[in-house]
Structure 1
Amino acid sequence: MLERIVKIQDAVKSSIAILGVTSLTNLMPEDWLLCNETCKALKCFEEASNYLSGEKYLTASQLLIIIKDIKRVLSDILSSDSSGYHYLPITYDFVRALLDLTHSRFENIENNNTIGVATFLDPRFKLQPLTSSKQATLRENMIKLAAQEINREGPCENIEVSKSSFDPTSIFYDWDAREAVPQLIVSPTARAIIEIDKYLNEKVISRYNLPFSWWKHNQDIFPHLDKLVRNKCNVLCTSVSCERLFSRTGYIISQRRTRLGVRKVKQLSFLNGNKKYIKF
């Protein structure tokens, strides 16, 4: 709303003058400048809110990136003297307060295991948003999770084939005999390390690419990490989707449908929220 008023400030001034509204305090040029600078400071929060409120794409993995960028934008405003533009003193105080609150609110966000796993499994970011110490910790955690997925498949058994079962006169005898040599059984942890290191060595994709499409094309290469993606990357950063569902439920329970039971309301709300996925 504040941004809209700033954009139409000429119309606002003219309307107040024409209507002769004396109860409204006329804003001075410095006040309009303050409103404009406030909009600039809050723009990064607006972008973050709009993006993180989505429910059709992966949001949890981008939380660390967005928080870092918010801090960067606010820090750039505080250091704007070097660029030649000087904000109002009250704007600097406002931005400094925003930066302090952002630091305190998200001080331990890198320690959040759910956010860390989602960030790691996003091929657009992987370990990049984290500090070096957090990268090592998260990598160890991912190895444990991948090893657990491997353990669920059961023990890996090698089938030993005796060389005596091959025909020495066959042209493939040497090849078959080589394959008959017993192979070492690799532990789940070792297999997890191999898969994770291979994933980390893959090139990071563009921010505009879809991570789930990437996993769809690479699920056979990273089968155990793909299972983790399906289980861990469905987390939303905000409760906006729940609030949208509550709003839709308000249309279901109307004055003419006040006798609906709890069970029926749950069923109708579920169908309303998932109707695009249901084929009748």
Structure 2
Amino acid sequence: MSDQRYVSGSSVIPLTIGLTSALNEIASLTYRQENNIDVFPDEVEMWRQDHLLSEISTRFSNLEQSRTYTVAMFLDPRYKLYFESENVADNTKKNIIGLVTTMINENERCLSSASTSDEPDNQGQKSNSLLWKHYNRQMQNVRPAGTANSRAIIETQKYLDDTVLSPDPLEWWRIYQTIYPNLAKLAKIKLNAMAL
């Protein structure tokens, strides 16, 4: 975390989970071994670890309730559904599907309004439209199969099933934006949230 100049909001929940887990593991140790000799931690150090763990648990207990962080984390291919609570993971997935469904519906509305709008009276465009008139008429009603919601579910599930090949989420989205076009658009909007 300290080697990054700007920590993405997508890393907040995983870093907090990792830090809490590490502190729990340290707190559960009653001793450690150095050169085959049992060394017990002093009481002050134990108190500091317990106090730190308590403070972190208190301050960051509601992180998974933040839609900003959960959506950013979901769209970061390194983390996807790395949540402590299965309920939060399911709700985040449903939220993403809802956002993608809305995007698909808006795109279809824009496409249908663009195809029905009048073209300007331009001789070059007129001849072009005459040339493609049959094609446009035939393809006008061709739509992708399924509802916007079913397509959102399929794209989201395919993303979840995909493996992570790159530790850099921006590079990953650049490579996979054609495979997950709606999620890539959503990632451009939501993944850039900064950790505060």
Report the TM-score range of the alignment, normalised by the length of the smaller protein.
Answer: 0.7 to 0.9
Q: Does 1:85 align with 2:39?
A: yes
* Residue 79 of structure 2, aligned match among 125, 128, 131: 125
How much does 1:95 deviate?
1.1
**Whole-angstrom distance in 2 between the partners of 1:149 and 1:184:** 15
Q: 1:226 corresponds to which residue?
A: 184
Aligned residue for 1:87, secondary structure, equals coil
Match of residue 203, structure 1, among 156, 163, 167? 163
* CA-CA distance at 1:76 after TM superposition: 2.2
Could you say which residue in structure 2 is the equivalent of 1:104? 58
2:165 and 2:143 map into 1 onto residues whose CA distance is 35
**Structure 1 residues 171-182: aligned runs within 5 Å:** none
AA aligned opposite 2:12:
L
Residues 92-171 of structure 1 aligned to structure 2 (within 5 Å): 92-155=46-109
Matched, 1:73 2:31: no
- The superposition leaves residues 140-170 of structure 1 with CA deviations (integer Å, 9 ceiling, x where unpaired) of 000001111111112588xxxxxxxxxxxxx
Aligned length: 161
Shift of 1:217: 0.8
Tell which structure's C-alpha radius of gyration is larger. Answer: 1
User: Structure 1: which amino acid aligns with 2:47?
Assistant: D
- Mapping for residues 241-256 of structure 1, pairs under 5 Å: none
Does the 8 Å contact 2:31/2:41 carry over to 1?
no
SS in 1 for 2:108: coil
Superposition TM-score, scaled by structure 1 size: 0.53
Tell me, in whole angstroms, the C-alpha distance in 2 between the residues paired with 1:184 and 1:233. Answer: 27
The one of the two structures with greater contact order (alpha-carbon pairs below 8 A, sep at least 6) is 2
Q: 1:102 to 1:183 in 2, by over 3 A?
A: closer
Bigger shift: residues 75-84 or 140-149: 75-84
Q: Per-residue displacement from partner, 1:23-64 (whole Å, max 9, x unpaired)?
A: xxxxxxxxxxxxxxxxxxxxxxxxx4x25x622xx6211111
Where do 5+ consecutive residues of structure 1 fail to align? 1-47, 158-181, 239-280
In the superposition, the TM-score normalised over structure 2's length comes to: 0.75
Q: Provide the residue aligned with 2:149 in structure 1.
A: 189
- CA gap of 1:227–1:183, structure 2 versus 1, over 3 A, is closer
1:89-113 deviation digits (Å, cap 9, x = unpaired): 0111111111111111011111110
Deviations 1:160-183 (A, max 9, x none): xxxxxxxxxxxxxxxxxxxxxx88
Evaluate the alpha carbon distance shift between residue 86 and residue 113 of structure 1 in structure 2; reply closer, same or farther with a 3 A threshold. Answer: same
Give matches, 1:1-12, under 5 Å: none
Match of 1:215 in 2: 173
Deviations 1:73-94 (A, max 9, x none): 2222222215443111011111
How far residue 205 of structure 1 moved from its aligned partner, in angstroms, is 3.5
Where do 1:254-265 residues align within 5 Å? none
Residues 144 and 189, structure 1, Cα contact 8 Å, conserved in 2: yes
Kept in 1, the 8 Å contact 2:27–2:46? The answer is yes
Is the 2:11–2:73 contact (alpha carbons within 8 Å) kept by the matching residues of 1? yes
1:74 counterpart letter in structure 2: L
Distance 1:185 1:68 in 2: 40
| Cα distance in 2 for residues equivalent to 1:183 and 1:66 | 43
Q: Return the letter of the residue paired with 1:154.
A: E
